[in-house]
A and B are shown apart, each in its own frame.
Chain A
Amino acid sequence: MNSTLTGTVAMYLAQVRAELSDLPPGELEDVLDDVSGHLTEVAGEFDSEPSVAALQDRLGTPRQYADELRTAAGYPPRAQRVADREAGRKSLLWGMIAATVGPFFVAVGIFAWGYGTTAFLGALGLGILFVAGFLGVRALKGNDPRIVLDTPYGERGAAAIRDLISQIPPNIRRELVAIGQPVWWVARGAIGGGGFFAIFGAGAVTVVGAVAGAAVSIWIGRKTQQNQRWLWYVVPLNVVAVVAIPAFLAAAYLGASFNFLAGNDRDYSGPSYGAENGLFLNGTAINNIYPFDAQGKQVEVRLYDENGNPIDLPTQDCAASFGADEPTTSNVFPQAVTKPDENGDITAQNCQETDKAPFVPPLAAPTAKPSGNSPTTPAPGSPGPKTPTPGVTLTVEPTR
């Protein structure tokens, strides 16, 4: 028995190959491997090299052989395959371009200053990735992803990679696959799922997304091992992952993704607690307001801005701290706040409130009066001259 077929048998194999040439390259090689084994055995049935007629008598014409094989293997009829394949190649090409450009935008988005830019570029990048995925799936409708290998570039690349792989000893190669594959499944899933949610959600959502993504990825990986048809969907996703993972890792390494995630947190932590929302004075958050009247007596007021919109803050009383499901706001100041009980604790059972200022208002310093004229004239609009209350001094503007 010869390992390489010769003469009429080799010719027969070549003709079968031509009949099946529309099959995806990977499948074609696999099935021809079987066929060449078969022909080797059949050739062994003859005492000497079989004649063309003898071979066809035994196996049918190459076309009949190929058709029989095609029907039994469930491959689509020939004509349809060729048309599908042309459309598929174009889709695949554009899909690959989109799959390269998409992560680029996502990466730029991560590095970009400002949450708005990040969100925009991130969404744009994901949009392009979505298109890539769509084109990839369309390209592979009825095709094996390995049609890429059918192009001159693909062929050369595959040969180079095969060369590299053949340099690794087989036992180490097996180890690498055994260890590397699960690691790869987890990595692509975690970064895919986490990255997706990082664009839209807060840190906690990202973690959940990463875990879910890893789980789904492992499931897909195991499915693919059992059924090669999953390759149609897995290969384009892998291409996306291969491009996206370095981008995410680079971003994480430079700490940019940290800022990026912090930006998201801000947006998702509710309207009144974040850095951009709420009431501020010179960058410091104001949590309560204690108004005092001219006599230094604490009063209750309602606050509005110049447009009549209430200036409100989340309530901080017992109901807000222990009872209410939804945060309520109020523009009545001072707001009541919880107060420690005699043990110094604040508990739901024994909650106490106070709206008394936790400070004594400082005395308004008397303004120096440069002119001796009418030293105690009250400010315009003040209700007449005042008797200063002990502890409080009026601020007096000089009138000119």
Chain B
Amino acid sequence: MDTSQLLKGVLDLAVLAVLRDADGYGYDVLRRLRAAGLEDVADASVYGTLRRLFAAGALTSYVQPSEEGPHRKYYGLNKTGLDLLQQSTKTWNHFADTMSVLLTKEAA
């Protein structure tokens, strides 16, 4: 199965989860997602997701100069983002459990 299809539904959750640990700029978020094992994630969709979450009021954004060159736009979770993360985590856990039970039964 193509994981990129699965990713579409849960990219919001993945991005929120990555930002829970620390604020990050786009490329950093991308790197962290890949490091966590989501290699198939598309670069542009991560940037798009960040914009949408920001527009929806779930993220804060600020600019910080970087040592290596141009400034970087950091994104971070705010209260709304944290709430959204918790709520989405619950939904995901419920969904994953349901799927696991279903698949285990099929296999048996």
Contact = CB atoms under 8 A, between A and B. Distances in A.
Interface residues of B, number: 27
Contact of A40 (B44, B47, B52, B70): B70
Contacts of A68: 42-45, 48
Given A59-B43, A68-B45, A72-B49, A37 B80 contact: no
Interface string A52-80: 00000001100011101111111100000
Interface in A216-265: 226-229
A33 interface: yes
A34 B43 contact: no
Contacts, number: 86
B76 interface: no
Contact of B68 (A1, A38, A69, A72): A1
B27 A37 contact: yes
A75 B55 CA distance: 11
Given A2-B69, A226-B80, A34 B57 contact: no
B55 A31 contact: no
Contacts of B57: 226-228
Given A34-B73, A40-B70, A65 B51 contact: no
A226 B55 CA distance: 8
A41 interface: yes
A24 to B, nearest CB: 11
A30 interface: yes
Contact of B70 (A30, A34, A37, A59): A37
Question: Interface on chain B toward A: helix, strand, loop, or mixed SS?
Answer: helix
Contacts of B56: 227
A1 B43 CA distance: 19
Nearest to B48: A72
Nearest to B79: A226
B46 interface: yes
A73 B44 CA distance: 9
Given A38-B43, A71-B45, A31 B51 contact: yes
A40 to B, nearest CB: 7
Contacts of B55: 27, 73-74, 227-229
A73 B12 CA distance: 10
B50 interface: yes
Interface in B61-92: 68-70, 72-73, 78, 80
Contacts of B44: 35, 59-60, 64-66, 68-69, 72
Nearest to B54: A228
A38 B80 contact: no
A35 B47 contact: yes
B69 A72 contact: no
A166 interface: no
A309 interface: no
B47 A72 contact: yes
Contacts of B49: 72-73
Contacts of A33: 73
B70 A69 contact: no
A64 B45 CA distance: 11
Contacts of B69: 1-3, 40
A42 interface: yes
B18 interface: no
A2 B68 CA distance: 9
A376 B26 CA distance: 114
A40 B71 CA distance: 11
Contacts of A70: 48
Given A68-B42, A72-B48, 19 more contacts: A1-B68, A1-B70, A34-B51, A35-B44, A37-B25, A37-B73, A38-B26, A42-B27, A64-B44, A71-B45, A71-B48, A72-B11, A72-B51, A73-B49, A73-B52, A74-B55, A226-B57, A227-B56, A228-B54
Ranked 3 nearest A-B pairs via Cβ: A72-B48, A73-B48, A68-B44
